[in-house]
Chains A and B, each alone.
Chain A
């Protein structure tokens, strides 16, 4: 079984970050890079499936990212992925989910995988869209927000649990090949120790441009779903707004705030 796992190197923002002068982004000095939390779970699910399958399968991780994101790929290879693909061109910087999905689709289609496992979303962009958009491009059956995955090799199908709002769960069956977006907590991602990360440098990591995976010039620009006009701080005051008054007044205010925010 061949499983492709699209992953992302995400940037966590420091508390006291600064924006770039033109407001188009964050000063990269204030970002901490890491493998997207959800992708750790989808990778683990893929590795577990391969191991359950007698270890014969192949797990390929793929990312759209610049050279820095090879760090995330190395982490995946260290955990046990067999090889990695990195897709990049400058027009992918800060790309929206449709652009990323378009490029991924071109590369993933060439792999003809039995299963594509994405994270539900990335912790920095929180679109929750790239995986399903990729399924759209690949014309592949898909299930979003999967919190349990049981693969039946004989039927070449999977029984999955989809996590709905409020804790409700839908159990459904999907035939392979398919694309699933994986929710956190579905498994316990293994630890990528530093020695393994060093040794992962020996594993194949291929870098490709959009042209090299068969996309025509302009294809990515055409796919882009949005343009970021600016990045600004949210409408939120500095520090806590202190609630004054008696305990009764404080309690009343708290209930008001809660109702307002939860409505």
Chain B
């Protein structure tokens, strides 16, 4: 019984806080403990393989390294043309630029603000046939040291044209966004001085 309740809980979390509160009120204390564990251990949205999610990670890397990112729920093809089925963006602790999908001339484009932002990186990814994906996200050389880097993703193949934000239906827009973290970027490796003499 418990696994079903947990699955239900994760699903309702995806659908918004108002629905979530109603669901929480109707389940057992035991299940709530399990839910809390799930939410703390995975910052990614959801565990339902049918929904787009980025697998949780915790890493300590340096600028110039690559962060291996995995996830699921992003079909390789969608109903709208786009350059990349999946876009992953490393976001620095400061928050970086805002960005999102936008329907321009019938095609999905990722459009964002354009302030300078150290530590920000974006890559396009081709998911596997089953919707899973693996990607190596480079940590930019200008990435400042610090904790709290996150990875945000937009699965463009889940988007359907509609009248909502960015030109997509609200349901598809929500389900196409995910984030995961966290990454700590450590300071550069110190090179010992060369002594001559």
Instruction: Tell me, yes or no, whether A binds B.
Output: no
